[in-house]
Amino acid sequence: MELSVAMSGVVKRFGAVQALAGVDLELRPGEIHALLGENGAGKTTLMNVLYGMFSPDAGAISVGGREVNFRSPHDAIAAGVGMVHQHFKLVPTLTVAENMVLGQRGGPLLRRRELAAVSARLRALADRYGLDVDPDARVWQLSVGEQQRVEILRALYRDARILVLDEPTATLTPPETQRLFPKLRALAAEGASIVFITHHLEDVIEWADRITVLRRGERVGTLKPADSSAEDLARMMVGRDVRLMRVVAGEAPTAGEGRALRQRESAAPVLEVEGLQARGDRGTTALHDVSFSVAPGEILAIAGVEGNGQPELEEAVFGLRAPEAGTVTLDGRDVTRCEPAERMRLGMGLVPSDRYRRGLIRELSVAENLALDRLGRPPFGTELRLDRQAIAKHAADLIERFSIQVSGPEQLAGTLSGGNAQRLVLARTLSRELRCLVAAQPTRGLDVGAIEFVWEQLAAARDCGVAILLISTDLDEVMSMADRCCVMYRGGLVADWSRERLDREKVGLAMGGASNGGPPRAAAAAEGPV
């Protein structure tokens, strides 16, 4: 069965904020349709309206030529619409087969014989579309790429003929990304309609049949890849020219870069990590014998796929997770047992991978969040009294300097878009006197304009002599920003390159665990999934 979709004049408001201002979207059977836009442009909101998670305030939606009014995702699923969210909606302790029947009548109470039938159908779907997954495996045992396949299989299991993918490649290795899109093309060839939301413009140019761009809740245009370029799409998204920063691996450094490299090599490291070992939240080994150093004015990138120990490394270096063994040294001082506040006093800063969990407090205002790590100290007051005027002035300065889009300093931080929330975290951290910065996934989920801004801020800090530990799953970011690159796999560092030896294919292979990914280091010996 082939289904077309027509969304016309869709309006959606959240209080005083108008997320969608009369958006039109047409989706044809058998096509892969890319949906682009800045953070807060309305992409996910539009697809959530199609999926029945939000009801539109105005406009009309038709599926297969019939006007629909979805009151919930159940209604959308029944009409053949499936959605794979950026953050997977799987229960880790259940098997793949058990996750398939969640939400269905009697799902949790299915007998073993009925689950066997579910598994058999899953295997048939997996074989048909090349989405290899073990139905009996528990989700927590699967890699991120395998979990992505489970989410797609769940939509297909529910007979989805319209498939929406929100940032489908955000957590995949380059080889996994290259395997995913041909499978989506095979689905489209059978008449399925596929929408994918992404910030990776190269994927759009290579795989989309048509592209729709949103900006500030309005449709800017719909075009074909042959009629556009990455630069054109970035300009449509942001409304101005965007400098897509790229570094060509292997290009010879300039004379200035050569001098800077020699100075870094001769300087004492700012951050030294030696033999670091730590356990994850499930009690298994998350970090195994991790050792590296970062010189002043250097960006050391730790590349890797989600789930290989990056959050634990971020937390252990900043003092949020106690290591079982090893040392962390800052400017020659052992800070292994120091609290985060003491590390910050000594010049360490953190841009956390989870900006909402560790980067800000949603219930506080933007102004309060911008001074959060200095409240109770001059010039923002004392332990007994806050100087609201000083806090407001500080906020106004940083809002202007970092171009944070807010209605005012008193706006609640929890209402900011992802890009503006990240600008807030960067503004607070980079406005301190820093010796070392841990930047974990600093551009995750950001649009090209916000990515450009973040990269420029990191480069400026590096040029001021700050030692930067960049922990990233984004290969474009690693190739663009790294002065040196290590790869983390199963809790250990398995490769190490200087900038002039960086090779995109080898880094990608090493991220996926290939033994020929690059120069060997102490191999990771952590057992089982991290």
Termini Cα distance of the chain = 42
Give the orientation angle of helix 448-463 with respect to helix 230-238, to 10 degrees.
100
The pLDDT of residue 111: 63
The pLDDT of residue 515: 52
- What is the token pair recorded at 34? 């890319």
The pLDDT of residue 528: 36
User: pLDDT digit string (tens) for 86-125?
Assistant: 777 888 888 899 888 876 655 545 566 678 888 899 999 8
The pLDDT of residue 452: 83
- Residues 196, 167: Cα–Cα separation, whole Å: 7
The answer to whether 393 touches 443, Cβ cutoff 8 Å, is: no
Residue type, 263: Q
Phi, psi of 472 (to 5 degrees): -145, 145
- Among 16, 17, 7, which residue's Cα sits nearest to residue 56? 7
- What is the token pair recorded at 513? 């665990």
Global pTM value:
0.69
Instruction: Find all residues with CB under 8 Å of 251, minimum gap 6, and list them.
Output: 500
Q: How far lies 223's CA from each of 84, 205, 229, 271, 448, in Å?
A: 24, 11, 11, 48, 19
Name the strands in the sheet holding 193-197, side by side, starting at the edge strand that comes first in the sequence.
81-84, 162-166, 193-197, 32-37, 210-215, 218-223
Q: How far lies 166's CA from each of 34, 43, 49, 415, in Å?
A: 10, 9, 13, 20
The pLDDT of residue 242: 65
In degrees, rounded to 5, the angle at the alpha carbon of residue 219 between the alpha carbons of residues 218 and 223 is 165
User: pLDDT digit string (tens) for 429-483?
Assistant: 999 999 999 999 898 767 777 788 889 899 999 999 999 999 998 888 899 899 9
Whole-angstrom Cα Rg for the chain: 24
The pLDDT of residue 444: 77
- Residues 64, 105: Cα–Cα separation, whole Å: 27
**Regions of the chain with pLDDT less than 70:** 1, 103-113, 143-145, 170-174, 242-266, 445, 514-530
Token pair 């719909």 in the structure block, residue: 222
Q: How far lies 328's CA from each of 277, 294, 319, 324, in Å?
A: 11, 12, 9, 12
The pLDDT of residue 106: 53
The pLDDT of residue 527: 35
The pLDDT of residue 18: 86
- Residues 220, 208: Cα–Cα separation, whole Å: 17
Domains (range + CATH), the chain: 5-238 (3.40.50.300), 243-347+433-530 (3.40.50.300), 360-432 (no CATH)
- Among 287, 263, 286, 261, which residue's Cα sits nearest to residue 274? 287
